[in-house]
Chains A and B, each alone.
Chain A
């Protein structure tokens, strides 16, 4: 028994040695016969002749019994092999059908495994775009894709951020082609852009199920899943046109859902679309305070030689129907011309009454991560009296976004020309060297700080954007320091007559209607042909009022849906003094009480006031007029309020003279107004 076991052991040893020798002999034989060193050169030459780019392979080896390994395959773009490779593959393992190889000498690829690869995502995309056709043709020559598996492991995709940091994403994918059916499953680990050095990140799982058709690809199921994201699409790709339908959800519902073990693995949004009730399925009750839900997506786009034409992209964004169409161009630089609209299919009359309806457009170019172009939007706002058709437009010079640590996004631009049309009014302001930081890590209220140049001065402030619903709720507090007041004429028309440096503190919020309020102060400036003083100058023949130099002009203002005006005006000048308030209501009417003091030199310059001074006596240094204004801005009512001066004057002139003066003034005002 012991001898038998000994012989058996020896036989096994001998057979093993024979097997190993046969294995290596076969490997050496096949390597020598079918994969000589010249094959590597032939493949490289084939690619040189057939591809715009180049390829270099360090080594090709045969691994019995049905596998060929290409080591260190490097792909270069058409710039040549001198530059850094755009794609490096450590090991490309190609398995083939041994039976077909031995019987017919055909190399039919059954499995491709890529182990360890690295590429810059943008360079790689450019390389694939340039070489995709020849590569597919080469692959098709090698393998009729009737049963092919492709595995991607340890693939690193890197991309550079605007601040120079390089982020790496890793990919794990398995592709299976059987007959015409294609199945792709995989995951992509996306790094956290706010901590590029750390290993933290998000896992995006994806799945593709479809079939190769004669002139395209049928897409049965294209899914993306992540922590708070779920999306699903279906459609087809045919004659360069991609049609996708589906939905997209980005919220914490999936997380809450996964904690509830009684439900199914489908998202509630899908159930809702299928008409099933969540309570019947023991699903948690749907909460509609989600951040983002895009449903009923219908997306049709055409891939052209150097552009992408979005024929239509329709979807519901948190139950608001959105339509997008336009073009994205890739040559000579990435540029776009896109139009957006909501409630596009609504009847015109109904859409006019719908305050959620808007039209928007983005056109511009991307250069070095910066956007140069125009963003415009037209919408209707609910005014106090009637709907107001309004339009906003921003022309950006190098708008760019830079992620910082701790979920803070830096938003900068070199210049922005902001215009706003509301009814018949036009407002415009230009900001330069704007920089801001948006802390969007907060759940609902996202704090924002910013500073910018504004007409030679500085604009700085802070605020928050409340994303709990649409429209977004905004609240900002900001300061303007030493801006050139005259250049703010397109913000407030009256500034066209004001010269000097202005500093201001303002606050804005749109929680219950829009309210802009604050205070302003100007020092050492002048008013030139200011309407009210010009009127006084013309009427009382006081040329000194055409230009009023002041040491200090201050005011508090309030602009809301019902009125706009200065609540406190305080003007201190050697020629005049003015304080009071002036409000223009939304219906065009005026409310004002002002106290105007005129100095003796100004009064003496007026032939109409000189007689008054002689009546009142030579000890008068100045006269103060308190008056109230009302009515239309273009034809204001005027009341001279009671004062010592008025009492003294009344005491000195008879009643019939008073009436005559009043008639004359009334006629003169009427003449000036008309």
Chain B
């Protein structure tokens, strides 16, 4: 058994060293930078990934991480563009759901009532719930910038948390 595990570890290491593609390398480099607190370097890696490999399987997570970065530095225009791209082009991705609380906050800040209504509708229709014995259903996501997201779906609203803190509440 021990021999088998050792062989597997060696095989994976070789694969990582020689078989890993550049988009993957950039993605993990960004994650590494983010974990060490170098958000600017992390963003640069993600930006290079999106520029060079827009169709990469890491694109949705990378886009979301870029949006998080833009939002954190107050560049709401680019944050919105990145989040809207996730909503329109990556509907089946994990970060898709968590783009909405950011978009909602920005729409509210702009006093764009139509956008607020539209976002609430999209949130309400993004999951079809069946709550027979529970009161809510949770969805989680760990972003590339090392933030832990949680969406708690109730029958008439959703609570969004970032790192355990309530970030947005969207009724519908």
**Which residues of A approach B to under 8 Å, CB–CB?**
385-386, 587-589, 591, 628, 630-632, 635-640, 646, 650, 658-659, 661-662, 665-666, 669-670, 673
Known A-B contacts A385-B117, A588-B121, A639-B155; the reply to A650 vs B129 at CB < 8 A is no
A631 touches which of B114, B128, B133 (Cβ 8 Å): B128
CA distance A628 to B125 in the complex (A): 15
Known A-B contacts A385-B117, A386-B114; the reply to A630 vs B155 at CB < 8 A is yes
> Is B121 within 8 A of A587, CB to CB?
yes
Judge if B134 is at the interface, Cβ distance under 8 Å.
Answer: yes
CA distance A639 to B131 in the complex (A): 4
Judge if B39 is at the interface, Cβ distance under 8 Å.
Answer: no
Known A-B contacts A385-B114, A630-B155, A639-B155; the reply to A666 vs B130 at CB < 8 A is yes
The 0/1 profile, CB within 8 Å of A marked 1, for residues 90-129 of chain B is 0000000000000000000000001001101100110111
CA distance A136 to B155 in the complex (A): 86
Known A-B contacts A385-B114, A628-B155; the reply to A589 vs B172 at CB < 8 A is yes
> Is B128 within 8 A of A669, CB to CB?
yes
Contacts of B133 in A (CB 8 A): 640, 646, 650, 658-659, 661-662
> Is B128 within 8 A of A635, CB to CB?
yes
> Is A665 within 8 A of B117, CB to CB?
no
- Known contacts A587-B118, A665-B130; 12 additional CB pairs below 8 A are A587-B120, A587-B121, A588-B121, A589-B121, A589-B125, A630-B155, A637-B155, A638-B131, A650-B133, A658-B133, A661-B132, A673-B128
Judge if B156 is at the interface, Cβ distance under 8 Å.
Answer: yes
A-B contact pairs, 13 of them (CB 8 A): A385-B117, A386-B114, A587-B120, A630-B155, A631-B125, A631-B128, A638-B130, A639-B129, A640-B132, A659-B133, A662-B133, A665-B130, A666-B129
CA distance A464 to B30 in the complex (A): 70
Known A-B contacts A386-B114, A589-B121, A635-B125; the reply to A658 vs B132 at CB < 8 A is yes
CA distance A659 to B132 in the complex (A): 9
> Is B130 within 8 A of A631, CB to CB?
no
> Is A632 within 8 A of B125, CB to CB?
yes
Contacts of B132 in A (CB 8 A): 640, 658, 661-662, 665
The 0/1 profile, CB within 8 Å of A marked 1, for residues 117-157 of chain B is 11011001101111111110000000000000000000110
CA distance A503 to B30 in the complex (A): 68
Counting chain B residues whose Cβ lies within 8 A of the other chain, the interface size class is: 10 to 19
Contacts of A640 in B (CB 8 A): 131-133
CA distance A646 to B131 in the complex (A): 12
Contacts of A630 in B (CB 8 A): 124, 155-156, 172
CA distance A639 to B153 in the complex (A): 11
> Is A637 within 8 A of B121, CB to CB?
no
> Is A662 within 8 A of B134, CB to CB?
yes
> Is A631 within 8 A of B129, CB to CB?
yes
CA distance A665 to B130 in the complex (A): 7
CA distance A635 to B126 in the complex (A): 10
Q: Which residues of chain B in 32-77 are interfacial with respect to chain A, using CB atoms and an 8 Å cutoff? A: none
Contacts of B120 in A (CB 8 A): 587
> Is A632 within 8 A of B114, CB to CB?
no
> Is A589 within 8 A of B128, CB to CB?
no
> Is B131 within 8 A of A631, CB to CB?
no
- How far, in Å, is A644 (CB) from chain B's closest CB? 15
CA distance A589 to B128 in the complex (A): 13
CA distance A386 to B125 in the complex (A): 20
Contacts of B114 in A (CB 8 A): 385-386
Contacts of A632 in B (CB 8 A): 121, 124-125
- How far, in Å, is B124 (CB) from chain A's closest CB? 5
Max chain B C-beta neighbours (<10 A), residue from A386, A591, A632, A665: A632
CA distance A650 to B132 in the complex (A): 10
Contacts of B127 in A (CB 8 A): 637
> Is B172 within 8 A of A670, CB to CB?
no
CA distance A232 to B125 in the complex (A): 62
> Is B134 within 8 A of A631, CB to CB?
no
Closest to A635 in B: B128
Closest to A634 in B: B125
Max chain B C-beta neighbours (<10 A), residue from A587, A635, A639: A639
Known A-B contacts A630-B155, A630-B172; the reply to A637 vs B128 at CB < 8 A is yes
- How far, in Å, is A108 (CB) from chain B's closest CB? 80
> Is A589 within 8 A of B124, CB to CB?
yes
Known A-B contacts A589-B124, A628-B156, A630-B172; the reply to A637 vs B129 at CB < 8 A is yes
CA distance A558 to B143 in the complex (A): 45
Contacts of B124 in A (CB 8 A): 589, 630-632, 637
Contacts of A658 in B (CB 8 A): 132-133
Closest to A669 in B: B130
Closest to B136 in A: A639
- How far, in Å, is B118 (CB) from chain A's closest CB? 8
Contacts of A638 in B (CB 8 A): 129-131, 155
- How far, in Å, is B172 (CB) from chain A's closest CB? 6
Contacts of A665 in B (CB 8 A): 130, 132
Q: Return the 7 tightest CB-CB contacts between A and B, nearest first.
A: A639-B155, A637-B129, A639-B131, A666-B130, A658-B133, A632-B125, A635-B128
Contacts of A646 in B (CB 8 A): 133
CA distance A658 to B156 in the complex (A): 22
CA distance A640 to B155 in the complex (A): 10
CA distance A385 to B114 in the complex (A): 6
- How far, in Å, is B122 (CB) from chain A's closest CB? 10
CA distance A646 to B133 in the complex (A): 8
